[in-house]
Chain A
């Protein structure tokens, strides 16, 4: 299996809702990433997990809470989001210490 999967594909939520995005990979990668991508912009790094431990937090607001339950799964918990948080959220994975990152299809998030 050489693919990163993400669920859901689309998510619409209100500013008071709590929701979670899920990412899964079965390539044996030990590094996993969350990116945010706005329209016509490049992916912007949010978090990096290495060996299931948070190694990089790019000063992301606390309304985004990442979690890595095991080496194959990565979650992003969302709470009290703002309309400007609407974006495509991409998950990626790579071999630890290697460079090549493989992206999932993304979750298109709309905050009303």
Chain B
């Protein structure tokens, strides 16, 4: 069935370090993979997304990579800052809906 696995569930890094969050999906037909950041009590906000015809996409300190053969994609945050602390959700599109991963709580310590 439709499934997105996300690891790790929690991640603690020192300010300035890099953070990597990984997701795998079950349906090889999935073609769209967004990442959302959700701060406590706030809405999920799209931070970056990638489509299946692209292997990598960057936006300043954030990058996403996609390996269609292995059915996994990853979020990379470089030079982390305390304001990057939040819960991050990956998602994959299955037909007309998004299926979300279970989330990663990122804590960036000053």
Q: Is A42 an interface residue (CB 8 A)?
A: yes
Which residues on B sit within 8 Å (CB–CB) of A102? 46
Contacts A48-B96, A100-B34 given; does A40 touch B44 at CB 8 Å:
no
B97 touches A45 (CB 8 A): yes
Which residues on A sit within 8 Å (CB–CB) of B103? 40-42
Which residues on B sit within 8 Å (CB–CB) of A55? 96
In the complex, A40→B102 CA distance in Å? 9
CB-CB contacts of B9-45 with A at 8 A, as 1s and 0s? 0000000000000000000000010101000001111
A42 touches B43 (CB 8 A): no
Contacts A99-B34, A99-B93, A100-B34 given; does A43 touch B100 at CB 8 Å:
yes
Q: Is B73 an interface residue (CB 8 A)?
A: no
In the complex, A90→B45 CA distance in Å? 12
B49 touches A105 (CB 8 A): no
Which residues on A sit within 8 Å (CB–CB) of B98? 45, 99, 101
Select the residue from A44, A50, A101, A104 with max chain B CB neighbours within 10 A: A101
Which residues on A sit within 8 Å (CB–CB) of B46? 100-102
Q: Is A56 an interface residue (CB 8 A)?
A: yes
Contacts A40-B103, A42-B103, A45-B97 given; does A106 touch B49 at CB 8 Å:
no
Total A-B Cβ pairs within 8 A? 44
B44 touches A103 (CB 8 A): yes
Chain A nearest CB, measured from B89 CB (Å): 5
B45 touches A103 (CB 8 A): yes
Which residues on A sit within 8 Å (CB–CB) of B42? 105
B43 touches A103 (CB 8 A): yes
Which residues on B sit within 8 Å (CB–CB) of A44? 100
Which residues on A sit within 8 Å (CB–CB) of B49? 99-100
Residues of B within 8 A of A (CB): 32, 34, 36, 42-46, 49, 51, 87, 89, 93, 96-98, 100-103
Residues of A within 8 A of B (CB): 40-45, 48, 50, 55-56, 90, 99-106
